[in-house]
Amino acid sequence: MALKLFTVLCLTATVLLLRAQVDANVLFQLSVMNKINNQPIQRYNATAKTGGSLLGAMTRLKQTSNNFTFTGSENPDFGVFIESVNNVAGNFTDRTFWQILSNKSGTPTPTPVGVSCYFPMENEHIIFNLTTF
Ligand SMILES: *[C@@H]1O[C@H](CO)[C@@H](O)[C@H](O)[C@H]1NC(C)=O
Ligand SMILES: *[C@@H]1O[C@H](CO)[C@@H](O)[C@H](O)[C@H]1NC(C)=O
Ligand SMILES: *[C@@H]1O[C@H](CO)[C@@H](O)[C@H](O)[C@H]1NC(C)=O
Ligand SMILES: *[C@@H]1O[C@H](CO)[C@@H](O)[C@H](O)[C@H]1NC(C)=O
Ligand SMILES: *[C@@H]1O[C@H](CO)[C@@H](O)[C@H](O)[C@H]1NC(C)=O
């Protein structure tokens, strides 16, 4: 199961968890952009746990929101790879994929790690952008 595996992968999460206030929430903004299919930007307020992963926040948002969903596949080396967001899948033939960016620097910049090992900060703006490779 995904959750078990990513805690093994992201050892830093264990360390962060020890320091974290139990059950404290980190509020951040999550946007879904799909210019390729001319879709309007979809914005959500998301909640991570302090020291918790972006994947955890996405899973919570999927459970609590009627209009956010995603699918992913488990990679033993890199954690969960996002395959579709809001029912739009990346497509190898079309050379599209969901790029994950953070706008915390004021310029949207790809996150250095995947959703399993990325830990959102308060007020951070995370962007899922369908783009080409
Ligand atoms: C998602 O649904 C909520 C509640 O129905 C609505 O307020 C919000 O605008 C919707 N957001 C998106 C991105 O569709
Ligand atoms: C997110 O929360 C803020 C503050 O409560 C609110 O102003 C904003 O409209 C919310 N955005 C969405 C997309 O729900
Ligand atoms: C990927 O795109 C190609 C070409 O547009 C299409 O034929 C194919 O069905 C798509 N595959 C998936 C898995 O969506
Ligand atoms: C990123 O942040 C900058 C500075 O706050 C803002 O001007 C810009 O609109 C943001 N970009 C996106 C895609 O939200
Ligand atoms: C999102 O992807 C589109 C299509 O590839 C691209 O034009 C745009 O610059 C990307 N936006 C960001 C914030 O990276």
The radius of gyration of the chain from alpha carbons, rounded to an integer in Å, stands at 14
Nearest CA to ligand 5 atom 6: 131
Instruction: Please choose, from the candidates 45, 43, 48, the residue with its C-alpha nearest in 3D space to the C-alpha of residue 26.
Output: 48
Kindly give the residue spans of alpha helices, DSSP state H, lying in the chain.
Answer: 2-9, 11-19, 54-64
Nearest CA to ligand 1 atom 1: 67
Number of helices and strands in the chain (H, E): 3, 8
In a domain, 111, yes or no: yes
Nearest CA to ligand 4 atom 9: 106
Ligand 4 centroid vs 98 CA: distance in angstroms? Answer: 19
Say if residue 20 is exposed, middle or buried (CB neighbours under 10 Å; 0-12, 13-18, 19+).
Answer: middle
In a domain, 51, yes or no: yes
In a domain, 43, yes or no: yes
Give me the domain span that covers residue 34: 25-132
In a domain, 81, yes or no: yes
Beta carbon of 42 within 6 Å of any ligand 1 atom: yes
In a domain, 7, yes or no: no
In a domain, 10, yes or no: no
- Residue 102 is classified by DSSP as E
Ligand 4 centroid vs 99 CA: distance in angstroms? Answer: 16
State the total domains in the chain.
Answer: 1
In a domain, 12, yes or no: no
Q: Cα–Cα distance between 82 and 71 in angstroms, integer? A: 6
**CATH number, residue 55:** 2.170.130.30
Probe target for ligand 1 pocket from 44, 64, 67, with the most ligand atoms within 8 Å of CB = 67
The tens-digit pLDDT sequence of the chain (133 residues) is 444 444 445 655 555 556 555 678 999 999 999 999 999 999 999 999 998 999 999 999 999 999 999 999 998 888 899 999 999 999 999 999 999 999 999 999 999 999 999 999 999 999 999 999 9
Q: Please report the pLDDT score of residue 24 as a whole number.
A: 86
- Residue 21 is classified by DSSP as P
